[in-house]
Amino acid sequence: MLGYLGGVNATRIAKGDANPRAVGATPAMAQWFAAKSAAGAALVFFRMGDFYELFHEDAEAASEALGIALTHRGEHQGQPIPMCGVPVHSHEAYLARLIRRGFRVAICEQTETPEQAKARKATTLNREIVRTVTPGTATEEALLDAARPAWLLAPVEGGAAWLDVTTGLFHTQASAEPAALIARLSPAEILAEEALGIEGATPSSAPRDSAVRLAAALGVGSLEGFGQFSPPEVAAACMAVEYVRAVNNGALPRLSPPVAEGARGVLLLDAATRRSLDILEAPRGASLLAAVDRTLTGAGARELAARLASPLDDLPAIRARHETVAALVEDKPRRGKLRAALKGAPDMARALARISLERFFPRDLGAIREGLQRAGLLADALTGAESALLAGAVAPLEASPNTAAELTRALAAELPARLDDGGVVAPGYDGELDALRRLRDDARGAIAAMQMDLAQAWGVAALKIRHHQQLGYLAEVPSAAGEKLLREAPARAVGELSPIHRQSMANAHRFTCAALAALDRRLAEAGEHAAKRERLIIAHLRRVILADAEPIAATAREMAALDVLSASAELATEGAWCRPALTERPDFAIEAGRHPVVEAALRRARGPQFVPNDCDLSPGRRLCLLTGPNMAGKSTWLRQNALMVILAQAGMFLPAASARIGLVDRLFSRVGAADDLAGGRSTFMVEMTETAAILNQAGPRSLVVLDEVGRGTATWDGLAIATAVLEALHDRIRCRTLFATHFHELTALSEKLPEMRLAAMQVREWRGEVVFQHSVAPGAAEKSWGVHVAKLAGVPAPVLKRAASVLASLEARAAAGADPLAAEMPLFAKAPTAPQHPVLQALAALNLDTLSPREAQDALYNLKTLAEGREAL
Ligand code: ADP
Ligand code: MG
């Protein structure tokens, strides 16, 4: 089966194992070798008392990754054994660091007590790998990002499945494109057959009898009740579930029934489009998500990210969201109540996952209790709501009244950190537990009383009864008094009270007596019984919660949705955000739109404000060709209009005065390769592959945004390609298109392409300086402003002057129909000063329109070096 997993009994292996590395090992070390061979590439956290120890190569790798000391312990085959360790009580933080560094960790626990081992005359405790921790299957809070889902993605040939064990969400998709899914989901871990060649994926393969296994795992006879799944979807889903089960040593967390996602109903965004739009992630945190996120809970943040990563293409569903946001914008008191109930609400979905895996803490039980209480408050806040989504939320929010009531009665007001700490269950919930606790407390009281009795009987006023981990309760007396007691006990210290010496220390002696020992036993027993009873009650509460798992998960989803909707309303009230009108026609008309991320950045900088711009791609004017100098705001305008589609179809309001958008089925956005720093492949190849994808997939309902595509190419190739692409988009595909270019020659196409409109970023000249207006106006940019931008970047006057005259000649030549960059370069032969001077050669080689300010500055240094007669860099 899944041989790379550690879910195997290490001792069982140890018996038949003929591992040459293990020859001559001590019993404990032999166990380690067995565990290591079961764990494979995973590090083994080998439980020894209060520590997880790592040995040999694991110790070396972990000590380096964690920056902890590497020591040695004993010898194996004549060599000292490298070792390092982490305390059990704080191991989660170390685990989190190792997982983030790309390690997998197999947890090898002691599975019996020292007493049990002694009873079977074993020299070492039994140990077993109880689970393997991997990035896509961990449930510990320390290993999770509260605001992000932890998807485990399993693509196979012809389909894919993805699930989040931390919330139980489970999806499949037929004919899924792995790259697009990876871009959409940013999975924590990917499982894939090696044949698929997915980088970083955990190698895996789908079992043969997938349908039967999957149905069994989900506790049903057949999958039909959940909907229609293609064989690849079933294979992928089964592969994911089997993996989760294997890393958990056979246990499965609660999973919701898988939802088959059709390709219809969602706005399609490919990987390149997501990269260019910075939807969820962006350098310096400047993502769309970060700019629009006003959610108050981790679950809400995850839901918002999911909506932005996968906007809808389903008019009624989108309208329902807009209607709800509008209602919450209007109704400030209701919005306030909802947000008050959400603020600080616990993450029920993740607590539920930990509870289902029996890997939970008292606070997880508390999270369900408080979550359900909050859900009640939310339901109250929704009374009388008319919007369908709000009215429909009430029932799921109130679906678990009995569980809510029972947890409220059962759990103590203040919960301890760990289950073994005791005090999880509230007094008054269980009579037997209360009685056992009284016994324990009585015994404690009796011990306090005994301290006085012993002090009197032994004649030692300073006598103190203290508790010791190994020895239990002992009476401690100062040295001198202790010596006296050892020589001769007072007359009253007889029988039950006669001192029995247990320990001598530097300045004290410890004694017990028959009475104290009996009390100690009684107390230990009462404590043990109470703890045992409490464990039983906790197991009962766990069952109560799990019996209601589906409604509780649904409540959690409803709370996340309410968080997103009320946060969207909150955002909409912060500035001028409008409710978009969505239509089934190919409309696109935005009035005074803004780029939410750039606007927020400008506001933070407290400099000039963002300049709003219209955009109209209505029928008859579907294609807009935008020109303008570098830094004028072309990319910003293009992207802000693409983001309008994402926001609108995710169900949010738009940063604009008004907006009418015809539903978009696919959104494509491409940025010219010179802007794409990713590198690696030939930039031209990347650009052409990505452009080809648009020409093959876009249709009349699509929106295509092309930002200076072709600029990475030699000028005339680029121009030719750009022309052909524009014509195809205009004549054949007939989609809405925004096309920014530095090829002014393209503006001439507007005569040939009736639905193409020209737009230009407005730039003014003021006292010889360029002033960017950041506003879009009809028409083509008058001239190339590359030289002006070079000035802005600090290129000195004489160089600029010469560049301007070269430019004029080039333009004249182009106007006369000749290729201005033809081989003979007569322009430079005619240059008045030093012909063929290296400065001029370098200058002629510059393509001013594609220079970034930074590149312009580099070019300048280069020119200066050349001018000084030194070798250029
Ligand atoms: P281009 O693509 O034309 O080179 P960008 O879109 O990258 O220009 O914009 C350059 C900078 O101009 C942005 O980083 C932003 O600071 C500013 N900017 C762009 N559009 C606007 C606008 N509408 N209002 C205010 N500032 C803007
Ligand atoms: Mg740009």
- Ligand showing the shortest atom-to-Cα distance for residue 707: 2
CB of residue 178 inside a 6 A radius of ligand 1: no
Residue pair 644/659 in contact (Cβ under 8 Å)? The answer is yes
Spatial distance between the Cα atoms of 791 and 860, rounded to a whole number of angstroms: 10
Q: Which one of 631, 771, 772 would you pick to mutate in the ligand 1 pocket, going by the greatest count of ligand atoms within 8 A of its CB?
A: 631
Instruction: Kindly identify the ligand whose nearest atom is closest to the C-alpha of 637.
Output: 1
Q: Which atom of ligand 1 is nearest to the CA of 707?
A: 2
- In DSSP notation, 26-53 reads -HHHHHHHHHHHHHTTSEEEEEETTEEE
610 Cα–ligand 2 center, Å: 16
> What is the SS3 assignment for 551?
helix
> Ligand 2 centre from 670 Cα, in Å?
11
Q: Say how many Å lie between the CA of residue 535 and the centre of ligand 1.
A: 62
Ligand 1 close to Cβ of residue 598 (< 6 A) = yes
CA 280 to ligand 1 centroid distance, Å: 21
Tell me how far the alpha carbon of residue 632 lies from the centroid of ligand 2, in angstroms.
8
- SS3 state at 859: helix
Give the ligand 1 atom nearest the CA of 639: 6
pLDDT of residue 353: 95
| 148 Cβ closer than 6 Å to some ligand 1 atom | no
Dihedral of alpha carbons 427, 428, 433, 438, sign: positive
Q: Please report which ligand is nearest the Cα atom of 773.
A: 1
Task: Give the amino acid at 682.
Answer: S
Whole-angstrom Cα distance, residue 565 to residue 297? 12
Q: Which of 590, 595, 598, 851 to mutate to test the pocket of ligand 1 (most atoms within 8 A of CB)?
A: 598
Determine if ligand 1 sits within 6 Å of the CB of residue 597.
Answer: no
Ligand nearest to the CA of 630: 1
633 C-alpha to ligand 1 centroid (Å): 3
Inter-CA distances, 818 with 717, 746, 813, 840, Å: 15, 16, 6, 21
Tokens at 868, concatenated: 């000084």
Specify the pLDDT at position 822. Answer: 47
| C-alpha to C-alpha distance for 444 and 450, rounded to whole angstroms | 10
CA–CA dist 247, 235 (Å, integer): 18
635 lines ligand 1 (CB under 6 A): yes
Nearest to 690 by CA among 91, 65, 213, 179: 179
Distance from the alpha carbon of residue 590 to the mean position of ligand 2, in angstroms: 21
Q: Residue 399 has what DSSP assignment? A: S
Residues 78-132 pLDDT 10s: 899 999 999 999 999 999 999 999 899 999 999 998 889 999 988 899 999 999 9
Q: Tokens for 781?
A: 């940019």
Residue 350's nearest CA partner among 624, 144, 183, 160 is 144
Task: Among the bound ligands, name the one nearest to the CA of residue 761.
Answer: 1
Q: Are 306 and 560 in contact (CB under 8 A)?
A: no
Cα 636 to ligand 1 centre (Å): 5
For ligand 1, is residue 774 a contact (CB within 6 Å)?
Answer: yes
Pairwise CA distance, residues 80 & 815, whole Å:
82
639 lines ligand 1 (CB under 6 A): no
Q: Which helix (H) or strand (E) holds 169?
A: strand 169-174
Chain-centre distance of CA 243, in angstroms?
20
Ligand 1 lined by 610 (C-beta under 6 Å)? yes
Question: What sign has the CA pseudo-torsion 721, 725, 731, 736?
Answer: negative
CA of 610 to the centre of ligand 1 (A): 9
Residues belonging to the chain: 873
* Residue 560, H or E segment: helix 549-574
Measured distance CA(421)–CA(46) in Å, rounded: 24
Q: Is the CB of 424 under 6 A from ligand 1?
A: no
pTM for the whole thing? 0.82
The residue ranges of the chain whose pLDDT is under 50 are 1-16, 675-680, 822-835, 872-873
Rounded CA-CA distance 789/850 in Å is 11
* Tokens read off for 556: 């959690």
Q: Quick check: CB of 634 below 6 Å from ligand 1? A: yes
Residue whose CA is at the smallest distance from ligand 1 atom 18: 633
Cβ of 633 below 6 Å from ligand 1: yes
d(CA 464, CA 452): 9
Taking residue 172's Cβ as centre, other Cβ atoms within 10 Å add up to 26
Cα three-residue angle 234-236-240, rounded to 5 degrees: 115
Q: What is the DSSP letter of 872?
A: P
First to last CA, the chain: 59
The H-assigned helical ranges of 210-347 are 210-217, 231-247, 271-277, 288-292, 298-309, 315-330, 332-342
Question: How close is the Cα of 818 to the center of ligand 2, in Å?
Answer: 28
Probe residue for ligand 1, chosen from 636, 676, 709, 741 as the CB with the greatest number of ligand atoms within 8 Å:
636
Quick one: which of 274, 267, 288 has its CA closest to 702?
267
- Give the closest ligand to the alpha carbon of residue 615: 1
d(CA 483, CA 501): 10
Distance of CA 580 from the midpoint of ligand 1 (Å): 24
Encode 543-552: b = buried (16+ Cβ within 10 Å), e = exposed: ebbeebbebb
Residue 91 pLDDT = 93
Phi, psi of 366 (to 5 degrees): -60, -35
Is the CB of residue 761 less than 8 Å from the CB of residue 633? Answer: yes
| Pocket flag, ligand 1, residue 172 (CB < 6 Å) | no
Cα angle, residue 574 at apex, residues 570 and 579 outer, rounded to 5°:
70
Looking at residue 8, its pLDDT comes to 41
Between CA 235 and CA 358 the distance in angstroms is 27
β-bridge partners, 173? 160
Using the mean position of ligand 2's atoms as its centre, give its distance from the Cα of residue 477 in Å. Answer: 82
pLDDT of residue 290: 96
What is the pairing mode between strands 472-478 and 464-468?
A: antiparallel
DSSP code string of 649-697:
HHT--BSSSEEEEEPPSEEEEEE-GGG-TT-SS-HHHHHHHHHHHHHHH
Tell me, in angstroms, the distance from the centre of ligand 1 to residue 631's CA: 6
Sheet of 703-707: strands edge to edge? 268-269, 666-671, 703-707, 736-740, 623-627, 756-766, 769-778
Starting from the CA of residue 636, give the closest ligand. Answer: 1
CA–CA gap between residue 375 and residue 558 (Å, rounded) = 9
